Every structure is written in C-alpha cells, then in structure tokens.
Structure 1
Amino acid sequence: MDAIKIQIPSLSENIRIIESFIDNAKEKYQFDDDIYGNIMIAVTESVNNAIVHGNKSDKSKNVDLSLFLEKSQIRFTIQDEGEGFNYDNLPDPTAPENLEKPGGRGIFLMKNLCDEVKFEDQGKRVELSFYID
C-alpha cells in the first residue's frame, strides 16, 4: 500500500498546498477526471473544516493529511488537533429551515462526493474513500 503524508498549519491560505498535493497525486496515480473533481472538493472541504472548526484557525495547531492507495480505492485521512464534534447529530442542510444557513454543507458534500466517509477519534479524524476500479 502506497502512502503519502503532509502536515500544514491551520491557516486557510494553506488550502492551496492541499490542492497542489492532490494535483501531484493525480499525476502520480493517473486517476480519472471525475474522481479527481470529487477528491478535490471533498478533501479541501474536509481540510478546511479541520482548520476552521477543528483547530479554530489556530496556526499553532496542525492538520495532517494522508493519502493511501490500495488496489481498488484511494483513501484520504484528515486529522486535526481540535476537540472533535458530534458527527451523528448534524442538521440536514437540505431541510427548508437550514437552506439559508451558511454552514452545514461541507459534510453533506463530502458524503455525496465520496464512496465512503468515516469519522473516528470523536470526529477529529475523517477518512474519505474513493473507489477507483
């Protein structure tokens, strides 16, 4: 199993480092454009959540991103140094009362773009899986 890891301080402008990381992975592993688009949106959204919500944009705290390539899937884990959150009790962003709210769409997006989303360690670690076969 191939693995690549990167660590960034919790600054929103570091999202571009994550975008480059994903671009490099696309070149290295030659995944399809449709999967690439889903990966780019889901992973950057997850890292942004880790920066803003997990680490409260505290630049002394880091976000770790790991990529694991297996035979039939590519898996990303995103880990923050925050306190976690209750991922089983999230409001539905498609419910009429939530449509106008600015937040709450990131995890919904991730669940729709990934083949599998798993939260671990009280929500401080998220695993995003994409099937590549």
Structure 2
Amino acid sequence: MNKPFKLKIPSLIENVRIAESFIDQARDEFNFNDDIYGNIMIAVTESVNNAIIHGNRNDKEKNVHLELDVTEKEISFTIEDEGKGFDFDALPDPTAPENIDKPGGRGIFLMKHLADEVEFSKEGRAITLTFYI
C-alpha cells in the first residue's frame, strides 16, 4: 500500500459509526481475520470516542482525524483530535481498588490490551494503535 487512508470526522458521538464503516472497509480491502477485526473495532472506536468526548469536548467545529496504514506485517490506526492533549503518563490505573467503581478510565487500559502497540504523540492529541498480522 502506497499511501495511508485518511478520514476526517466532525466531533459528534453518532459519528463513531463512520469510524466503524472505515474499519469494515479496511477489513474488506486487506482481508484481516475475525480475531484481529474484533480487537481493532473495539480499540479504534473507543479511541475515536475518547477523541470526540475528552479531546474535542464534543465541539462539532473540531474534527477527529483517522488514518490507516497497512504493511505486510501490521495494521496501524492513528486517531488524532484537535483538543489540548493530556498527560498520558499520569493516567490512573483502572484496576486499582480505589478506581474499580469509577465509570471512566478504562478505555486506554482496554486499548493497551487489545492492540499490539499503543503509542501517544502530539502531547496526547494523537494515538497510534498497531495490530500485527
């Protein structure tokens, strides 16, 4: 594949379905198996959700940028918002006893378990989720 696929989504929570269609198109195009598909669908939609809600603060004037890059060995999705970013090294552990009952804080934990690599950049405004194929 020569160039990555790119998509720009306005920050409306219902637009997560656009990201789901993007992932379905990628599966059709690159033929990845069902196990990896499930992990990608959950991790990427969770990340898009976070970008809309936490990154762009549900501001429909701001966009979420989704990029797909595929090599022979891996599929990478980069999700970037237009917010202020955050300190991704200071995230509380959602499995710690004091955080078990909190409603939020599990998304990134989940992404780290579903993707083979998770890398933050741009002061936390961008995340790259890599899946080995």
Cα deviations by residue, 1:53-95 (Å, 9 ceiling, x for unpaired): 0000000000000000011000000010000000001000011
How far apart in 1 are the matches of 2:82 and 2:67? 15
Aligned to 2:97: 96
Aligned equivalent of 2:76: 75
Q: What stretches of structure 1 of length at least 5 have no aligned partner? A: none
Q: Does 1:114 align with 2:118?
A: no
TM (norm. structure 2) is: 0.98
Letter in 1 for 2:73: S
| TM-score normalised by the chain length of structure 1 | 0.98
Q: 1:18, 1:118 → 2: CA distance? A: 19
The residue type equivalent to 2:71 in the other structure is E
Match of 1:128 in 2: 129
1:19 Cα offset (Å): 0.5
Q: Secondary structure of 1:85's partner?
A: coil
Q: Measure the CA separation in 1 of the matches of 2:20 and 2:126.
A: 19
In the aligned structure 2, how far is the partner of 1:23 from the partner of 1:96?
37
Q: Aligned partner of 1:69: which letter?
A: V
Q: Which runs of 5+ in 2 are unaligned?
A: none
TM-superposed CA distance for 1:96, in Å, is 1.1
Amino acid at match of 1:83: K
Read off the aligned partner of 1:4 and give its amino acid letter. F
Question: What is the aligned-residue RMSD (CA, Å)?
Answer: 0.7
Q: Which runs of 4+ in 1 moved over 3 A?
A: none
- SS of the aligned residue for 2:119 comes to strand
Which letter maps to 1:74?
Answer: I
Distance, in Å, in 2 between the alignment partners of 1:40 and 1:123 is 21
In the aligned structure 1, how far is the partner of 2:91 from the partner of 2:80?
A: 19
Aligned pair count? 132
Q: Which amino acid aligns with 1:129?
A: T
1:19-58 matches, cutoff 5 A: 19-58=20-59
